[in-house]
Amino acid sequence: MSDGSGAGNGRLIQVDDITRVFHVGGEEVRALRGVTFGISRGEWVAIIGQSGSGKSTMMNVLGCLDTPTSGRYMLNGKDVSRMSDDELAVIRNVEIGFIFQTFQLLPKETALANVELPLVYRGMAAKERKERAKAALDKVQLTHRMHHRPNELSGGQRQRVAIARALVSEPSMLLADEPTGNLDSATGEEIVRLFEQLHKAGHTLVLVTHEPKLAARCPRAIRLSDGSIVADGSGREVAMAVAGPMVAGV
């Protein structure tokens, strides 16, 4: 277990005793029951868990799409756990680059326009926006497809467009939700390699997944079960503890 406590130690992400309670049909569902951990700049961390473990809720909180019921979430030195809706929109735009399982590209816009989108909400002029978007597409080797719409791209290409979109705003962290879940294994591998490159380039990556195999590739993994952390260590160890060496692919 890594040291969970200790805010103000210069970490990019610090969550302290976070809970999230939903009310569904009069019943109280405790999706997170006091979660505490920190992530430093440049780390690549997998958050792993079965469905219902609270990992999706954790990802929504980390992505500032949702706010915790109690506890504190410090992101890049800012307490984002009690921010207003509009303030959170700004945080999402500046600090977070999302990568979704289903890519979530706008189907009627070109790859380039999709990548530009976060910069539009930053109020950037069209010319600069385009240049930056092209540069981001270059990082994922897709400049030759930038005028194509998502339905003209393969699954792997779509996910690379989504990664370019996450990179374009130079966020503090990339937050990926099952990024290989909709891809065949070869294409998935391609994307994981891209993550490895990004990690080497110094990006902070948080990857939410239920696949031990994927978690095993990450230097660090945090395992959630029933809304609590049950393991926090190297990706290999955590993955093996979940699935055994065969399934974890290590």
Residues that bind another protein (CB under 8 A): 60, 63, 65-66, 85-86, 89-90, 92-94, 98, 100, 104-106, 108, 117-118, 120-123, 165, 169-170
CB of 109 to another protein, least distance (A): 8
Which residue shows structure tokens 């239920």?
A: 210
- Considering the complex, state which of residue 110 and residue 209 has its C-beta at the smaller distance from another protein: 110
CB of 221 to another protein, least distance (A): 24
CB of 220 to another protein, least distance (A): 25
CB of 117 to another protein, least distance (A): 5
Q: How far apart are CA 41 and CA 172, in angstroms?
A: 8
CB of 158 to another protein, least distance (A): 13
CB of 11 to another protein, least distance (A): 21
- Considering the complex, state which of residue 3 and residue 128 has its C-beta at the smaller distance from another protein: 128
- Considering the complex, state which of residue 158 and residue 217 has its C-beta at the smaller distance from another protein: 158
- Considering the complex, state which of residue 7 and residue 120 has its C-beta at the smaller distance from another protein: 120
- Considering the complex, state which of residue 82 and residue 108 has its C-beta at the smaller distance from another protein: 108
Q: How far apart are CA 63 and CA 43, in angstroms?
A: 16
- Considering the complex, state which of residue 125 and residue 246 has its C-beta at the smaller distance from another protein: 125
Measure Cα distances from 123 to 84, 161, 193, 199 in Å.
Answer: 20, 21, 33, 29
